[in-house]
Amino acid sequence: MNHIFSKNIATISKLFLSVSLLCNSLYGITINGKSLHSLIQPGESVSISFKDKDDCTFFAIENGNITTKGTHISNIANLQEIYQEIRNHKGGSWISKVSDISVNVFQHGSHFAATERMNIRANTSADFIRCLIESPKISITGNQMNFDDCFLINPNELYIFPVSSDSDIAAMRITFNGNATHPTLMSGPLNLNKNESTGSLLLTNVNNITIQFSEKVWNN
């Protein structure tokens, strides 16, 4: 079975994660090395934009510090081949305008689809392995999630909400390029409960990431 991540991509991910470790909690949360308090006021959101539609984006959280890093999509091995392989083996799915589903701990090869809005709830933790999520507006609620070679089909917006009140993040909104020429990949871990990731979440075709922080961040 082929996998998206190559050794080079894994090395890049580890390198920029190690940089985020230098920005420790003595100065509170940082965004790409800059103090959150120097970027926004309480109640405001952080917005990170990406100009090149052919870029892919690494997103990581370590000790509350958030880091993003881009690389050209050509560095992702076998992207189109993996996407086509998963599509060829996808199971059948019932498509409605709006779909609200709760998922169990393990999802392998699932195809979630809705023509207007897809809401996925994973209350504690969930592994999504080689899944397809098809909808213009996608919402995923959960604390600890891992995406292994998953693809979003025709996405405009992706919302991620934690369940835990311990999360520094209240909500994330990710928008995608509408004229992308490559499949939209989402692969990697995200732990909003512990405000950390054991690796980096890799996304392609990202236009913007907006992060809203919880009230407890400003009270510390």
User: How would you write the chain as a 3-class SS string?
Assistant: CCCCCCHHHHHHHHHHHHHHHHCCHHHCCEECCEEHHHHCCCCCEEEEECCCCCEEEEEEEECCEEEEEEEEHHHCCCHHHHHHHHHHCCCCCCCEEEEEEECCCEEECCEEEEEEEEEEEEEEEEEEECCEEECCEEEEEEEEEEEEEEEEECCCEEEEECCCCCCCEEEEEEEECCCCCCCEEEEEEEECCCCECCCCEEEECEEEEEEEECHHHHHC
Query: For the chain, what are the domain ranges?
Result: 7-219
Does pTM top 0.95 for this prediction?
Answer: no
Reply yes or no on whether the pLDDT at 154 is more than 90: yes
More confident residue, 126 or 139: 139
Q: pLDDT tens, 94-127?
A: 678 999 988 866 788 889 999 999 999 987 778 9
Reply yes or no on whether the pLDDT at 54 is more than 80: no
